[in-house]
Every structure is written in C-alpha cells, then in structure tokens.
Structure 1
Amino acid sequence: MNKYEIVAKEAKGCFDFFWKEANTDPESPGYGLILDQSANKKVASIASVGFGLSAIIIGIEKGWITYEQGYERTRGTLHTFLHNVEHEGGFFYHFLNMETAKKNEEFYDCASIIDTSLFLNGAITSAEYFGGEIKELFEQIYQRVDWNMYYDKEKNQFYMGYRPETGGFGHWDMYAEQMMQYILGVASPTHAVPVEIYQGFERRLGKYGEYEFYNCPGGSLFTHQYSHAWFSFEGYVDGDGIDWFENSVKASLANRKYCIDNPDGLKTFHKDSWGLTACATPKGYGTPGTPPYHPNVQKENDGTVAPAGAAGSIVFTKEESIDAMNYFYNHHPKLWGEYGFQDAYNLDVSPEWYADHVIGIDKGITLLMIENEQTGLIWDLYMKNEHVKRGVSMLNWKKKN
C-alpha cells in the first residue's frame, strides 16, 4: 500500500466509530448520542457528538452512508439536544448517560463551555449542509445558549466550568483550544458577550528550537487543532495581526522537533513517532505536551504518543503527519483496531503498552483534519454560516493580502 492509502483507511475507521458507537434507538431519549470512548458503553460526551455530526457529512460525501441515513441521524440527534439533553442556560453537561441524556453522575464534570462549543461547531456544519428543519433545530439550540452565564465581567474572561451549586469556576485566561468560543459568544443573536472578551486572555510567545509561537501552558497539541477543525484560520489574521494558522504550523513542527531531540532518551519518541497530545496513557487519561511551557508548569512526559497528535496536524504538516501515520501502521500492528488507530502507545513502560480502545475526540480531530486537508469540506461549510461570518467581522479578523 502506498503511503497515502493509510490516510483513507484511518478516515474510514474514524467514521465507523461515530456511526456505530451511537445510540440508534429512535425511541430512546438519548438517540444520536455518541460514546466518549469505545471502552465505556454507558457514557456519551457532547464533544464526541460535535465531531460526529461533522463526520456524518463526510460519510455521506464519501458514500459510506446515504444522504437519507445521515439526515435522519442528524435530525434525531439535534432533536435530542433541543429537548432531552440536560443543560444549564443552554450549556450542556460534558458527559451524559447514553440512554437518558442526563448528566452522567459517575463522571460528573460540569456544564461545559468548551464541549458545548465543540458540539455547536458540529451542529453548524449540519445546519449548512442540510438546511431546512436541521438548520431550524440548530438555531433554537444556539439561541438558547446564555454566553453571559459563562462571562466573568471583572476578569473579562470566560469561565472554564459552571455548576449550578457554586456558579462559574476557573478561567480561560491563556491561549488554548478555546478560540471558537469567541466567535460563537460575540455572534450570539440572543445572549452575546462583549467583543472585548477577545482581549481578555494572555498571549505568551515562547520558543522551542527555531520555532517561536504562542503555546498553551502545557504544550498539548490538541490546543492548536480543535478550533481549526472547523474555522479556516488559513489566510486570516486577527485584530492584533496574529496568524493563528501559521502558529499551529510552528506548534506542530516544534512538537515533532521535541520528539526528534528526545531530551529524556525515551524509546517511543523519534522523527516519525511524535504528536504529544491529550490521550489515554498507561496511568489513565493524560495531557502529554511539549515546550515552551509556561513558567508555572512542570511537565514530565512518560513516552506516550497518540496517533491523533500527528494525524490531527495533517493540515499543518502534511508530509510529516502522513509519514508518522505510516510508521504507526507499519511498525506497530498492536496499535491498529476496529476503528483504525487505537488511542495511544508507549514503549517506555514494561511491558510495552498499547491502548485497547479509542477516544471520540481523538478520532474526531483526525477525521475532520484529514477531510479538510483533502477537500476543505468542513471548513467550507462552517465558514458559510451567518453567525460565524458575523463573529469574524465583530472580532476584526481580516483576510491576509
């Protein structure tokens, strides 16, 4: 198989996760919910559903499912979110019971702004692709979201979480994966936050090797990918002149360089085994990452690499990402499963460790970025949305000359 075939093979595996690991009972309150991960058949995540809604569109365009199948699943999913999924002020709980659509008590997190935003991103692509009733359902869901509930006026920042018992907590005070929240929040036709919120988070330039870029505190690669899965930052600069697409290119290359440099001499890291990002690890879910770290962050990588790290950067580092995917496939057969690449692996523990499951958001970032690199489909749909256009204009993001 030539080196590009693995990309198509992985994309189909990713799609199969979202299509098969969903609640498909039309009589269930949780119809359309998608598992957080394949290892736990009871817990859905709303972020997984967001990626899954865009995956349905890709599946239709690839001929993996029919238009009618995709339409019905999407319509039912949005109906579930409008009427059944537990929420606070329109913000959905991160983890849900697959059957009841109520917050999952075992993994009780919070009504989540970032995960609601990921869901809304997927719903926006559905609205633009299908139109009609699906667009109407999306509008009702979006207009219900009270962005001000998550806005700390004193700090001019979004809260990271919200619990009805205690209110908002934590703050999106530094650059990370939250860029989508500013677009969605300022553009809301019903509960908009002030445009000034975009100036509320810190941009901290750092350098690794020859790469100078804005990194999140812990350097996990997903932070440079998630908003980019839907919004096409390429060709735009923000009001401060920052090119966030180019920033993610540098972050991806720096992530790879760190694995080449391999300062701790780990077995897993090298030029084709890179992509340190949030993933399963031998000790549970973790957030591997690479420098430049923020001064208050102490980071110790254990050798865990997730295929989604490199694959999710394919729009930034095409050849390097494809080389990594081929290395994972050709040299680590234990890393391949029913849904393509398993979540992660680590050669620096004894015995060598391979995840036995996949995680929805890792399959999602892989699939969407592969499609964007090949056709730009998800970018094109998202960028056509009237709310997205309005948000871009209000934030004063400009197309580069």
Structure 2
Amino acid sequence: MREKLTNDELLDLESKQSFTFFWEEANTNPDSPGYGLIRDRAPGLPNMASIASVGYGLTALAIGAERGWVTKEQAEERVLGTLNTFLNHADQRHGFYFHFLDMNTAKQFGGCEVSVIDTAILICGVLTAGQYFGGEAQVLAQQIYERVEWDWYRNPETNQFYMGYDDEKGEHFGTWDHYAEQFMMYFLGAASPTHPVPADMFDDFTRYLGYYGGHGPIIHSTGGALFVYQFSHAWFDFRDREDKYGVDWFENSVQATLASRQFCIDNADKSATFGPDSWGMTACDGPRGYHGGYGADPNTSKRDYVDGTVPPCGAAGSIVFTPEESISALQNYYTNYPKLWGKYGFQDSYNLDETPEWYAEDVIGIDKGITLLMIENYRSGFVWKQFMTLPAAQQGMALCMGEPRSALPQAKA
C-alpha cells in the first residue's frame, strides 16, 4: 500500500500522466511525413500508430493547453503539423484512413483495414482541436472532415455502415448492425456538408434489450465491453436528452456501467481481481495478449469464461456515469496495487488470478484517451463544451435523434 491521494489529486495526476503519453509517444520529427502520429501503445510496437490514438491525442492537446501542462503555442504547433499529416501524407481511401499507420511514413501498417470507426474517432479529435485552437487549425480540420465520403462506406441495401474495407481485395466487409460505439459515425455522417448519409441510419440498427443485477433496461452490445457505452459519449453530450424513441442514451450507459460493476461483484468468488472496487471489463491487454471480448452481462452471446483481467480504463472511462463507484475503484488501484502504476499513470490492466500476479507492460492509446477525456468531462465538461459548439455535433445529433429538449417548443400554461 502507499499513501492515499485525495480524489482531486488522483484524478489530476492520472489525467496529466495520460496526457504525457500523447505528448511523448508522438512523432515529433518536423521533416517526417508521419509528424504528429501517435503510437497505438507503449513501449510495445514502437513503429505502429493508431488513428484512434491520434483522435484522442488531438483532443488531449486541447486539454493539455487548457490545463497548462504545455503552452497553447506548443500544443497548436503539434496540432497544425498533425492536421497537415492527415491532409497531405497519411494513407487514406475516400477520406477514410487505415486503422494503423507506420509511425514514420504514414503508410498503411501491417495490411490492416480502412476503418470507419477509427476514422470517426480521429475526426472527433480533429474537429475538437480545430474548434479549440481556431484559425488555421479550424480550416484544416474542416477540410479533413469534408473529405470523408461517408456515403462510400454505407451499404444501401441495409442502410447500415460496413464494418471495414479490405484494401487488397477492394471490398467492404461486415456490418454495424446492432448497438455499439458507432453513434459518432451516424452523427458525423448525417451532418456532413459534402458526403452526407441518411439520418435514418440511426433507426436501422438492432437494439438488444436486457437487464442484469437489478439494472436496466439496457440497450446493449453482444459482448458487454464498457467501451461501447463510452466512446461516442467522450465528445457528444447526451445528458438531459432523449432520442425520438424516448431513449436516454446517457442513462443507458449509467445502467450498463452499474450492471458491469455488479457482474464483477457477483463473480468475485471466481476471480481474486473482481470486487466492488475492481470492475469495468472492456477491451484491453490480458495475460495472453490483447482481447476485445472482455465484457459483462447483459449481452447476447454466451459468456462461459471469467479470466480475471480488469483494466482501470473501464471504471475511469465511466466516471461521468458512475462518479462515486469509478473514483473508489481508481483509489483502490492506485493505493493497493503499485505495480499497476507506471510512467503514464495506470498501466493497461491487471490479473490477480495468474501465478505470479500479472500486470500489463504496456499502456494503450485509446485506453489512456477515454480515461483522460472522461475525467476531464467529469471535472470541467471541457470536451463537451468545445465539441458541442460545432455545427457537425449539433446538426448531426438533431438530424438523427431529434432536437434536444431545450430546443423543443414549451407547452403553454
């Protein structure tokens, strides 16, 4: 055990160290076509950048400048160089980028797909940075957004986005056919001034409904990973808003988070890691490699294993939904498990059921990103305030969900 920090001290420390990942694990060679690219993880795979990591990183630059962790001039220089990389150098198809890029060349890395969801995360960061820094950054950000041909990624037969695009085969594959983290895709696509998609794409995905541990109803994903309830919420503010079907998506994430925590409490007899202050299963590193299937009920797939891996970003990324429970978990991780803390704050995950106890060696950009953005939204609402002033955010949500309550005409007394 080590000395406990106050809640404010802990949140500030984890935020600052998460920001440091995005600041230090970037290509800062001004002569490189990959300037501004940010590693997918560290210290592993030093040559692989993730465009989603860059999306979180561009938002992190705005947070860091606002918090004074770097000067606004330093952050703006990094932003402008990064936007130039994506406008002029990074491999793309119809405005969509490859999931992973070579850190130095900005070319496709390892035969990966052209990714619609990772491009959407990138665009959220691009637009946030453009809005915060203004001027040239805003112009470049809008150019990157307007180049995305959302309609190219839409299956006209199902009115759904394809899951990915295989560049070698020259064809799309898969489908976004049920609820997950993809709301940002609908909103950005519907609001596009150049290549819009129908707003009713928001109507054409399956909504699985379930309950767990007294929590619900929950419109849930098939795997139960918490990131699906977090990622779009990092930028889009769903608070005090229902869609045209009466669904409160913020409250849906609250219920999903509470259910996920209850799952770990209920299964504490199966894992030494699980408990009321160690919960939040989501995609992360595990003892046998990265696994996207870590999750909790309710879900629509059979869950026949519990391997005891917990990532701090599960609770941290849900702090706006469950502040008391999330902070209590972070205090537990920091105070009682010093091996879970490293150069960039919390390591990616840990598992007490392994012999010896297992702690991740890496941190992962998207996990540090959701941690940083959600803690900042909890502390100040900064990301929401910046992003929700954008026409793309306001119009996209209104087109897909209906107008926010404050915009609806009030009944006369």
TM-score w.r.t. length of structure 2: 0.94
Alpha-carbon contact 2:160-2:175 (below 8 Å) kept: yes
Shift of 1:385: 0.4
- Match in the other structure for 1:268: 273
Shift of 1:263: 6.4
Matched, 1:147 2:150: yes
Q: What is the alpha-carbon distance in structure 2 between the residues aligned to residue 204 and residue 307 of structure 1?
A: 27
Change (3 A) 1:312 1:224: same
1:344-386, Cα deviation, whole Å (9 max, x unpaired): 0001112210001100000000000000001101001110001
Alpha-carbon contact 1:236-1:397 (below 8 Å) kept: no
3-state DSSP class of the match of 2:101?
strand
More deviation in 156-165 or 69-78? 156-165
Q: CA RMSD in A?
A: 1.1
- Match in the other structure for 2:58: 53
Map 1:75-224; keep pairs closer than 5 Å. Answer: 75-105=80-110, 108-164=111-167, 165-212=169-216, 213-224=218-229
Number of residue-to-residue matches in the alignment:
398
Matched, 1:285 2:290: yes
3-state DSSP class of the match of 1:233?
coil
Q: What is the alpha-carbon distance in structure 1 between the residues aligned to residue 335 and residue 184 of structure 2?
A: 36
Gap runs ≥5 in structure 1: none
- State the AA in 1 paired with 2:208: R
Shift of 1:22: 0.2
Q: What is the alpha-carbon distance in structure 1 between the residues aligned to residue 120 and residue 267 of structure 2?
A: 35
3-state DSSP class of the match of 2:19?
helix
1:255-313, Cα deviation, whole Å (9 max, x unpaired): 1111111166211000000010100000111131001111x444522100000000000
Alpha-carbon contact 1:218-1:299 (below 8 Å) kept: no
1:31-71, Cα deviation, whole Å (9 max, x unpaired): 00000000121100000000000100111111110010011
Shift of 1:393: 2.2
- 4+ residue segments displaced more than 6 Å: none
Shift of 1:127: 1.4
Map 1:22-61; keep pairs closer than 5 Å. Answer: 22-38=26-42, 39-61=44-66
Gap runs ≥5 in structure 2: 407-413
Q: What is the alpha-carbon distance in structure 2 between the residues aligned to residue 72 and residue 51 of structure 1?
A: 17
- Alignment match of 2:316 (pick from 303, 311, 314): 311
Alpha-carbon contact 1:182-1:197 (below 8 Å) kept: yes
3-state DSSP class of the match of 2:181?
coil
- Match in the other structure for 2:410: none
Q: Percent identity?
A: 52
3-state DSSP class of the match of 1:323?
helix
- Match in the other structure for 2:244: 239
Q: What is the alpha-carbon distance in structure 1 between the residues aligned to residue 9 and residue 228 of structure 2?
A: 27
Alpha-carbon contact 1:186-1:194 (below 8 Å) kept: yes
TM-score w.r.t. length of structure 1: 0.97
Shift of 1:215: 1.1
Shift of 1:140: 1.1
Q: What is the alpha-carbon distance in structure 2 between the residues aligned to residue 72 and residue 4 of structure 1?
A: 30
- Alignment match of 1:342 (pick from 322, 344, 347): 347
Q: What is the alpha-carbon distance in structure 1 between the residues aligned to residue 401 and residue 219 of structure 2?
A: 20
Q: What is the alpha-carbon distance in structure 2 between the residues aligned to residue 51 and residue 135 of structure 1?
A: 17
Shift of 1:396: 3.8
Q: What is the alpha-carbon distance in structure 1 between the residues aligned to residue 112 and residue 306 of structure 2?
A: 25
Shift of 1:109: 1.9
Alpha-carbon contact 1:275-1:306 (below 8 Å) kept: yes
Alpha-carbon contact 1:267-1:303 (below 8 Å) kept: yes
1:97-121, Cα deviation, whole Å (9 max, x unpaired): 000000102xx32110000000000
Q: What is the alpha-carbon distance in structure 1 between the residues aligned to residue 299 and residue 8 of structure 2?
A: 34
Change (3 A) 1:19 1:46: same
- Match in the other structure for 1:393: 398
Alpha-carbon contact 1:231-1:382 (below 8 Å) kept: yes
Q: What is the alpha-carbon distance in structure 2 between the residues aligned to residue 168 and residue 298 of structure 1?
A: 29
